[in-house]
Amino acid sequence: MEHMATIMGQISQAAAPRDNSKAPAFKTPSMKEPDSFDGTQAHKLRGFILYGQLILHNAPENCFSDRKKVLYSTCSLTDRAGKWIEPYLSNISNEDPSYLPNNWQLFETQLFTVFGDPNEAKKAEQELDNLRMKESGHVCF
């Protein structure tokens, strides 16, 4: 736990604006913090990502870099997902754009690869195939 606390401190420092006089504070009016994602429930991953994007887009004046988006999102990763991201965060000083903590698209892709449902598209297709129209004109599953 001490190691994780150290890493979280490094994240806070890395995500902090370099010049506080120019960067506005992060605000999310009327939006609660995202729920944590522990990596055990694949069906919650898409919602976790979408809600995080909503929070980040809610304050466009902040112009979040990919790095800040990833670091903000990692604060909500716990248990299995937190352990997965930990090695990347231990080398937080790496500023290479292709390094996972600096690349939102790569971060999102890797989350879905590691924790997503590999059969998500097939399940959605099957659900669509199973839709039937009732006599009343309503769709039933």
Provide, rounded to the nearest whole percent, the portion of the chain with pLDDT above 70.
Answer: 69
Instruction: Report the chain's mean pLDDT, rounded to a whole number.
Output: 79
Integer-rounded Cα Rg, in Å, for the chain is 19
Q: Write out pLDDT tens, residues 60-80.
A: 666 678 888 888 889 999 999
Alpha helices for 58-119 (secondary structure H): 66-74, 79-89, 104-115
Work out the average pLDDT over 106-119: 89
How far apart, in Å, are the Cα atoms of 83 and each of 17, 59, 74, 114?
26, 29, 11, 12
pLDDT at residue 38, rounded to an integer:
93
Where does the pLDDT of residue 82 fall: very low under 50, low under 70, confident under 90, or very high at 90 and above? very high
| The model's pTM | 0.64
